[in-house]
Amino acid sequence: MSKLRYDGRRLDITADTAISTLAGILQGCGCNERVARMVAEHLADASLCGIESHGLMRVIQYHDQFGNGTMRATASAQYNRLPSGGHEIDGNHGIGIPAMRLAIEYGCRIAEDNGISAIAIRNTGHTGRLGAFAELAAELGFLTIMMGGGNRKTWRQVAPYGGRQAMLPTNPYCIGIPGGERGSVVLDFATSKIAGGWIYAAQSAGALLPAGAIIDAAGNPSVDPQDYFNGGAILPAGGAKGYALALMAELIAEAMLGPATTECNWLLITLRTSLYRDTSTMQKIAEEILDEIRHCPPSPGFDRVEIPGEREREHRRNANGVIAVPELTWQQILALADKMVNPARSL
């Protein structure tokens, strides 16, 4: 599932080894044991699902952001009821994975009582793989719709449709809903042709990017991740459609939710699906729809038609608890782990 054009060696690392290594790095950065473990497990699971852009290599970025003050390792996310009656999770400039987990818990709790909830998530760092949170809610019977944006002046990554300069963040969307017999259906995508994490992953591994994803500072197509870091930009997914979705998320996240700090703001909408149909009936009809789609004859070059979210779960099952990590990336992670034990050393 990797989008990297990588011919180098990959090392088979067990998920348990990866989790303990990453948790040690995060604790060395100042995270408490609970947060360090939660984040490490989340990153390892993303890698097991084949989402390398949001997997183990992210600990390198988190370490750097803790070091330069972009994120606070000791911060704790908290729930607030706003004077206006709205609901908010304040990440207090910490890592975003615990903040998003807390938002899902409150979103489901409020929607269980009221049928629907809307929660703003603010002042958070990177939130990890959104699909993981949508899966949690879907397993409990909830539809979730989330989008993130804001802070474009700090995270200028994506060129608007027709432009050649990075102006917007990757502004992701995620929708999750209980599905049929094989589990939830989860749509998790950046509004750019490639998530920013894939560029960091390519840089870390010494790999190239797929064609058509980025441009260099002059607006020319490129596959070299360094061209992005040297003033280039990611292209919007689907041309004008991806750009429009990104712009809408930017307006929701900043114009409506307020100034974005750390990374971006998020809006999470959670709906209890039993408001409209009992769970067993919904699952039966969902399976009829999904089964029909799966049996569509594949086009040339395709083996089958897939359902969003099922590929990640299949990849996780087939991985059998082992992650294939680019050798250079794992060496960088081990160097960080060694630095935590021997702080006098530098990378």
Under 8 Å between Cβ of 127 and 253: no
Query: Amino acid identity of 338?
Result: D
Judge whether residue 341 has pLDDT over 80.
no
- pTM of the full structure: 0.92
Taking only the tens place, the pLDDT of each residue in 182-198 is 999 999 999 999 988 88
Token pair belonging to 114: 């009221």
Lowest mean pLDDT among 4-18, 24-38, 128-142, 261-275: 4-18
Under 8 Å between Cβ of 149 and 139: no
Closest-CA residue to 149 (of 277, 263, 28, 231): 263
Under 8 Å between Cβ of 100 and 129: no
Taking only the tens place, the pLDDT of each residue in 253-278 is 999 999 999 999 999 999 999 999 99
Residues in the chain, total: 347
What is the bridge-based pairing of β-strands 142-149 and 264-272?
A: antiparallel
- Amino acid 173: pLDDT: 98
- Amino acid 346: pLDDT: 46
- Amino acid 347: pLDDT: 41
Under 8 Å between Cβ of 178 and 202: no
Relative orientation angle of helices 58-68 and 15-29, to the nearest 10 degrees: 0
**Phi, psi dihedral angles at 327 (to 5 degrees):** -55, -45
Token pair belonging to 93: 């400039």
Domain 10-341 has CATH 3.40.50.150: no
Query: Amino acid identity of 221?
Result: P
Taking only the tens place, the pLDDT of each residue in 139-176 is 999 999 999 999 899 989 999 999 999 999 999 999 99
